[in-house]
Amino acid sequence: MCGRFVRTSPADVIRAEFGVTSIAELDARPRFNVCPGEPVAAIIQRADERRLGSLVWGLGSRAQINVRSETAARQPLSREAFAHRRCLIVADGFYEWQQRESQKLPFFFRLASRQPFAFAGIWARDGATGKPQTAILTRPADDVVRRVHERMPVILGADARERWLDPRLDDPEVLEPLLREPAELESYRVSTLVNSARNDSPDCIRPAEGPLRLVPRPD
């Protein structure tokens, strides 16, 4: 699954990496502990426009934050969005927790290249408010993540991102293989600071052994 992540790259870096052509209202301040229910930086393709803007993380009346990639094309909540409303959710890393006896220990994962990347996402408008919402697709964990958790978010490589955003594609047999491509990740254990949604600072991604201080998240 994916319940917290990091987005620190500035808007100009995101624009260059993902071929963004326009930017809507977006809080581009670095985030070290993005939580469910909060706005996330997402990219949507419409015709020739590739737009970067905000979507609320949590889809539908149950605010579902993750959707299994193996069944997303067939589930009632997600099948229409899978076919017609796909997006990229911009990130620089994500967290997973490992259960050790009575403790849940957080680990931070990022690309070995240290570059920003994109989760595969789907989006829809809330039926009551009309606000756009999103969920991150997940897959069985690869060898790196499996040591900590059995599932992980789907990370799309450059070629897969282009096809995932292509509005002309809606065939699950074409789209689903994109969600199984590997990503070269590295990881390390971090402090339990990230366990609290109140904390949002670089200390959240520092190795667990380093000096730590509490910093509240931005208003």
Q: Which domains are delineated in the chain?
A: 5-94+119-138+151-182 (3.90.1680.10)
Given the residues 2, 35, 87, 204, select the one marked as catalytic: 2
Residue 145 pairs in a beta bridge with none
Q: State what percent of residues in the chain have pLDDT above 90.
A: 84
Name 175's Cβ contacts closer than 8 Å, sequence gap at least 6. Answer: 73, 82, 86, 163, 164, 169
Catalytic residue among 35, 87, 96, 204: 96
Q: Is the pLDDT of residue 210 over 70?
A: no
Q: Which residues contact 165 (CB under 8 A, 6 or more apart)?
A: 43, 44, 45, 50, 86, 87, 88
Q: What pLDDT, on the 0 to 100 scale, is given for residue 106?
A: 95
In this model, does residue 178 exceed pLDDT 50?
Answer: yes
Does position 51 have pLDDT exceeding 60, yes or no?
yes
Q: What is the model's pLDDT at position 148? A: 93
What's the rounded mean pLDDT across residues 139-144? 95
Q: Please, which pLDDT band fits residue 124 given cuts at 50, 70 and 90?
A: very high
93-114 CB burial, b ≥16 within 10 A, e <16: bbbbbeeeeeeebbbbbbbeee
pLDDT band for position 101 (50/70/90)? confident
Furthest CA-CA distance within the chain: 52
96 is catalytic: yes
Bigger pLDDT: 14 vs 102: 14
- Band of pLDDT at residue 12, cut at 50, 70 and 90: very high
